[in-house]
Every structure is written in C-alpha cells, then in structure tokens.
C-alpha cells in the first residue's frame, strides 16, 4: 500500500515551497474540565489522567470555522509580511465547514479580500492540515501557484453530542494558518518543505465518524468514536509515517529539531515519543490547553512554539497527525 507511492521517483521540481509565516486564532471562551463537571458526569481528574486535557476553547454564537480561519490567516499574512493581493492559492483543511458549499477557503478568501485565486477545502479530518500542506507544496513546486495560504480550521463543538461524556470532553475549536511561497529550487538552499508521507485506510471508517451528511440522512450528525480502538491504531500508524517521511527526506529522526504532533491525547503523544525514541523536550504539546482541534491542532501547536521562541528559522520541523478515515501522515519542513 504505502511503499508503492513512497517509492515513486519524482523529477526535480523547478520550484521549492518555503515557509513565510504563521498565525493562529482560538475563541475567547475557555471551557475548563471543572466547568464540564457541571454539565455531565465527568471529573477533571479523569479527563487529565486519560487525555492530558485541562481546557479547550469553544466558539461563540457569532464565530464559525470560516471566521476563525480568516483571523488565523490574517495573522499569518501579517507575520509573513505578505499582502492578501499576493495570495493565489488558499487551501482550508476542515471537517466542520460553515456550509456544505461553497468551500470554507472561498469564504475566507472573500473575508480577506483576496482577489481571484485557487481556493478549495481538504477533508481528511484530524490529518487535514498535513494533507493540505502536501497539496499546497505540490502546487507550488509545479508552478501552479506562487504564494499559498494553508489553513486548518474547525468548530468541532458543533458536531459533538454534549450528552456523550466519552467524546464531548476531548475536543475544542480553533484555527491555524501558514503562508508558503514558491522560490526557485536553486535559490532555496536547505530551506523548504522537504517530504510528506500520507496514508488512509477507509476500512476503519466506522471507528471514528459523524453519523450524518448531505447525502446520508440530510442532517449534520454527531461525532461517534470507539476510543480504545482508535488508540490502538494511533501510535503504530503515526510512528510508521514519521519514519517514512524522514526516509524520503534522507534525514534521521534524531536530526529533527521539533515534532509538532496532532494534539489528540497526551498518551498518544507519549506513546509515539517512546516508540520513536524522541526527546520529550522536542515534542510540542498543547493538548492541555486546546484539547483536540482536529485539522487546526497542528498549526495551532506550531504557532504556540513559534511565538514562545522554541521554533526558529533554520529549524527542521516534523508535523504529524492521525484522524477519522483513518487518515494519517507526516510532513517535514526546514524553516
């Protein structure tokens, strides 16, 4: 399955996509575990012990996936010193779009006043940002666009069954964004997006899904998960994708400066770190403050570590995620 695509030899691309800037946005409303205790039969101790989560941000009535995504993108553009006029590709990774259509990316485009560009959504649930990075990288490297906004934005609070304590305590809302630009490969030096390893196994769809949709039932539906079964797959899948991504880029896992994992559960992060022999201090962990924000989780965590001065220019950074589908994967980037 995976080996055949990994072993494809691609001709050298004239362009390399490089990181230009990043931004993030979370709703101001913070819901702590202690507040959840007043809403359902749960406890701060249970949630912290099983997941590492202490709080999550929840969107207010006027906040949507597109509004959070647009603010994260606005901040990323400012950070990159790139004008909205320069953007010719917008990819938004989300499983909770504002509308069935048009794409959330198009709504964000309109909000930011970006002129005619390519804009579409990627739906790979929690792995969405890593998938979107790979698509943006391919389009920049092949010359289809010059400057891309890659956004992960979610309002999972809207698809939670708030009477189901086994899932409601796990998720939060938010958005993160990166600006990538195409530079001539000859000029990129060691910088740039170096490799991706993406996987999906649709046979596992029933372990984590939403029981609704436009073509099945005609309603939005609520999230359903067999948590222990998901857990059993997570560590092995993520570890394999990390190894494959490093192999493609010709780097050792020990060469990586920062691991920015999807923030699903502290125990999954620890399990991957143990299996891969990662230094704990190199693993960016924000699950305690954000919970699981699905496609927003990786760029949100990335932004926290960039803002606090951990992730710096020149660093080798690995992004990884796993989510419903199952989908999973990793991307490697030298800032």
Residues forming the site for ligand ACO (CB under 6 A): 42, 46-47, 50-51, 126, 165-166, 169-170, 208, 225, 227-228, 230-231, 234, 262, 264-265, 292, 322-323
Neighbours of 277 (CB within 10 A): 8
Residue nearest to ligand ACO (CB): 227
Q: Which residue, 180 or 278, has its beta carbon nearer to ligand ACO?
A: 278
Compare residues 42 and 185 and give the one whose CB is closer to ligand ACO: 42
Q: Shortest gap between Cβ of 112 and ligand ACO (angstroms)?
A: 28
**Is 246 an active-site residue?**
no
What span, in angstroms and rounded, lies between the C-alpha atoms of 177 and 154? 12
Cβ proximity of 199 and 329 under 8 Å: yes
Give yes or no for a contact between 95 and 213, defined as CB atoms under 8 angstroms apart: no
Catalytic residue among 92, 126, 245, 246, which?
126
CB of 42 to ligand ACO, least distance (A): 3
Pairwise CA distance, residues 235 & 322, whole Å: 9
For 104, the enclosing helix (H) or strand (E) is helix 104-112
Task: Count how many Cα atoms sit within 13 Å of the Cα of residue 96 in the half-sphere of its side chain.
Answer: 30
For residues 321 and 297, the answer to whether their CB atoms sit within 8 Å is yes
Nearest distance from C-beta of residue 327 to ligand ACO, angstroms: 10
Q: Which is nearer to ligand ACO, 95 or 117 (CB)?
A: 95
- In angstroms, give the least distance from the CB of 261 to ligand ACO: 10
Q: Which is nearer to ligand ACO, 21 or 291 (CB)?
A: 291
> Between residues 194 and 264, which has the closer beta carbon with respect to ligand ACO?
264
Q: Which of 33, 92, 262, 290 is catalytic?
A: 262
In the chain, the DSSP E strands lie at 15-25, 30-32, 55-57, 89-93, 118-122, 147-155, 173-184, 192-200, 208-210, 223-225, 258-261, 316-323, 327-334
Minimum separation from the CB atom of position 49 to ligand ACO (A): 9
Query: In the Cβ-directed half-sphere of 303, how many Cα atoms lie within 13 Å?
Result: 26
The question of whether 233 is a catalytic residue gets the answer no
Catalytic site positions:
126, 262, 292
């Amino acid at each position: 399955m995976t080996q055949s695509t990994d072993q494809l030899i691609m001709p050298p691309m004239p362009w390399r996509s490089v990181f230009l800037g990043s931004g993030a946005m979370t709703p101001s409303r913070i819901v702590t575990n202690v507040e959840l205790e007043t809403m359902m039969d749960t406890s701060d101790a249970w949630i912290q012990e099983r997941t590492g989560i202490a709080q999550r941000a929840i969107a207010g009535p006027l906040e949507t996936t597109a509004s959070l995504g647009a603010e994260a993108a606005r901040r990323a553009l400012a950070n990159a010193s790139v004008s909205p006029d320069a953007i010719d590709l917008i990819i938004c990774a989300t499983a909770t779009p504002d509308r069935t259509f048009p794409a959330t990316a198009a709504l964000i485009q309109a909000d930011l006043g970006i002129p005619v560009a390519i804009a579409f959504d990627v739906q790979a649930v929690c792995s969405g940002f890593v998938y979107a990075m790979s698509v943006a990288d391919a389009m920049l490297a092949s010359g289809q666009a010059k400057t891309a906004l890659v956004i992960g934005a979610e309002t999972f609070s809207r698809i939670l069954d708030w009477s189901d304590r086994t899932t409601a305590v796990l998720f939060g809302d938010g958005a993160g964004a990166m600006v990538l630009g195409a530079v001539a490969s000859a000029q990129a030096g060691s910088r740039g997006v170096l490799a991706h390893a993406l996987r999906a196994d649709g046979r596992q769809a029933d372990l984590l899904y939403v029981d609704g949709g436009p073509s099945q039932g005609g309603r939005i539906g609520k999230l359903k998960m067999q948590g222990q079964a998901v857990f059993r797959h997570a560590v092995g899948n993520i570890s394999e994708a990390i190894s494959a991504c490093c192999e493609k880029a010709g780097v050792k896992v020990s060469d990586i400066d920062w691991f920015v994992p999807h923030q699903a559960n502290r125990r999954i992060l620890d399990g991957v770190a143990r299996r891969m022999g990662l230094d704990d201090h190199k693993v960016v962990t924000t699950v305690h403050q954000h919970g699981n924000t699905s496609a927003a989780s990786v760029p949100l965590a990335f932004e926290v570590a960039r803002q606090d001065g951990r992730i710096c220019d020149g660093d080798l950074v690995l992004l990884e995620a796993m989510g419903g589908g199952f989908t999973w994967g990793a991307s490697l980037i030298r800032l």
